[in-house]
Amino acid sequence: MMHVYIDGARQPLGAGFDDYLNPGRTAVVSIDLHRGHLEDDPDCPCPAPRARAIVGGVNRFHAAARAAGVPVIHVRSTLRKGGVDDIAGIPSAWRRVFPLHVGPIPNSDGHAIEGSHWTEFVTEVDDRDLVVSGKKRLSAFYPTDLDFLLRNMGVEALILNGCLADCCVLNTAFDGSNMGYRVTVLRDLVAGTTGDLEAASLKIVAMHLGLVADAEDLLGAWQERQPAAKKRAG
């Protein structure tokens, strides 16, 4: 039986959610697990140190998803050199408000500049995977071609992992749900700015946007529906 998190507690899901759990209509969307967030370096332009702990689990889950015939899509932020679409144009709000909470970020102007090593993925990218670049704000859908890609792939359900749970993952969950996708956020494969914000974000997702589950529980649900995944993979 599939288990999910309701008000922070792991509970049986019950019937009526087959459209969330059909591997033949699902894609994994992994958000911003690149060096610009995860590098252990004082020059890291937008550090998300709590997310370093999920990289191994994300890699293992992606391998299992591929084996189940579920496509993996890696999304990364990229900004044009010179910053016309951010720091030299209309700066992202986070650049002004985030430092109020965490202190100055010395190299924030270097965040996500195309061609820089900060945009290199830390997670493993397989030849079968897809990459979506051009994310310039907080949602993986904005202003990328992610929705266009998903529609062409016949995807109806999204599995989200990555960072930050209270920022880009949450914004992507809102957009995905508003666009009609069945959204599941993997509790053990996201990281928030703080533990409290992570927990609050997951409760918001579970209350309003979709399901919150552990990776192993989702893989078990897919295994029960394996013929659908094999049909898609073939």
pLDDT digits (tens, 9 = 90+) for 111-164: 999 999 999 999 999 999 999 999 999 999 999 999 999 999 999 999 999 999
Query: 169 lies in a domain?
Result: yes
Which of residues 1 and 181 earns the better pLDDT score? Answer: 181
DSSP letters, 83-138, are -TTTTTSS--THHHHHHHHH---TTGGGTTBTTSGGGSBSS---TT-EEEEEE-SS
Query: 98 lies in a domain?
Result: no
Model confidence, pTM: 0.95
Look over the chain and give the mean of its residue pLDDT values, rounded to a whole number: 95
Query: 218 lies in a domain?
Result: yes
Would you place residue 227 in the very low, low, confident or very high pLDDT band (cuts 50, 70, 90)? low
Query: 88 lies in a domain?
Result: no
| Domains of the chain: total | 1
Query: 9 lies in a domain?
Result: no
Q: What is the pLDDT of residue 114?
A: 95
The residue among 11, 45, 15, 48 whose CA lies nearest residue 169 is 48
Question: What number is the average pLDDT over the span 99-119?
Answer: 94
Q: What is the pLDDT of residue 225?
A: 86
Query: 84 lies in a domain?
Result: no
Would you place residue 233 in the very low, low, confident or very high pLDDT band (cuts 50, 70, 90)? very low
Task: Decide if 145 contacts 104 (C-beta within 8 A).
Answer: no
Q: What is the CATH number of the domain that holds 128?
A: 3.40.50.850
pLDDT digits (tens, 9 = 90+) for 49-65: 999 999 999 999 999 99
What residues make up the domain containing 63? 17-77+118-233
Query: 214 lies in a domain?
Result: yes
Residue 105 clears pLDDT 70, i.e. is over it: yes
Query: 64 lies in a domain?
Result: yes
